[in-house]
Chains A and B, each alone.
Chain A
Amino acid sequence: GQQVMQIPQYQHVQEGEDFTTYCNSSTTLSNIQWYKQRPGGHPVFLIQLVKSGEVKKQKRLTFQFGEAKKNSSLHITATQTTDVGTYFCAGDAGGTSYGKLTFGQGTILTVHP
């Protein structure tokens, strides 16, 4: 079945440093979503990428979808303590199960003030 791998599993940064998490799918995706889970909380949707090579920005967050629609990345510029949490990518393979997401393992981000 479809697999979505996400690295790194953990990332510790000093406040102000940049952060990147990478996501790779074993199959071509129809679209990919990104979620953030604060400590003790539940996953919250951040963004969806649909087009090959798509790049979207949300303030300090930049999301990319690879040309082959098999990989994606999330980059945070100048991290802040409010960025702490776990970031998940979630791939949708489309087809008959369109809308069913396969989540990566997540990257746990710690930001030291």
Chain B
Amino acid sequence: DADVTQTPRNRITKTGKRIMLECSQTKGHDRMYWYRQDPGLGLRLIYYSFDVKDINKGEISDGYSVSRQAQAKFSLSLESAIPNQTALYFCATSDLPVGQGAREQYFGPGTRLTVT
């Protein structure tokens, strides 16, 4: 979805390096999420932010940090990359829930990260 962009799209880095993945959205959504995808493991939530001042750990936050610079921007950092962080990373956004239903999440195109 062109409304959610991720940079870079591909990155190869070495063990121990610091790397930042960036996500921007033009949908005006308050909620943003970072997931990683590994074969056979589906999408696992790393961090999520329900608004600029609200950041929460997901199920696999160890080794990662995030920054919500503005409503439209949510960055994911790997402070010291390790090979098992090699994965496909997705950013997503959603609007506020309505009634009993959560709102659909809109995903960016993904960043393929390789740590050697």
Q: Is residue B14 within 8 Å, beta carbon to beta carbon, of the partner chain? A: no
**Which of A14-22, A55-63, A75-83, A92-100 contacts its partner?**
A92-100
**Which of B16-24, B37-45, B61-69 contacts its partner?**
B37-45
Q: Please state if B45 and A50 are interface contacts (CB–CB under 8 Å).
A: no
Q: Please state if A31 and B100 are interface contacts (CB–CB under 8 Å).
A: yes
Q: Is residue A27 within 8 Å, beta carbon to beta carbon, of the partner chain? A: no
Given A42-B1, A43-B107, A6 contacting B31 (CB threshold 8 A): no
Q: Is residue B94 within 8 Å, beta carbon to beta carbon, of the partner chain? A: yes
Given A42-B90, A42-B107, A105 contacting B45 (CB threshold 8 A): no
Given A42-B90, A42-B108, A42-B110, A100 contacting B45 (CB threshold 8 A): yes
Q: Identify A50's interface contact among B33, B101, B106, B108, CB under 8 A.
A: B101
Interface residues on A, range: 20 to 34
Q: Is residue B12 within 8 Å, beta carbon to beta carbon, of the partner chain? A: no
Given A99-B31, A99-B97, A43 contacting B104 (CB threshold 8 A): no
Q: Identify B94's interface contact among A43, A99, A104, CB under 8 A.
A: A99
Given A31-B100, A42-B107, A42-B109, A100 contacting B42 (CB threshold 8 A): no
Q: Is residue B74 within 8 Å, beta carbon to beta carbon, of the partner chain? A: no
Nearest-Cβ distance from residue A50 to partner chain B, whole angstroms: 5
CB neighbours (8 Å) of B45 from chain A are: 100-103
Using a CB–CB cutoff of 8 Å, the interface residues on chain A facing chain B are 1, 6, 9, 30-31, 33, 35, 41-45, 48, 50, 88, 90, 92, 94, 97-106
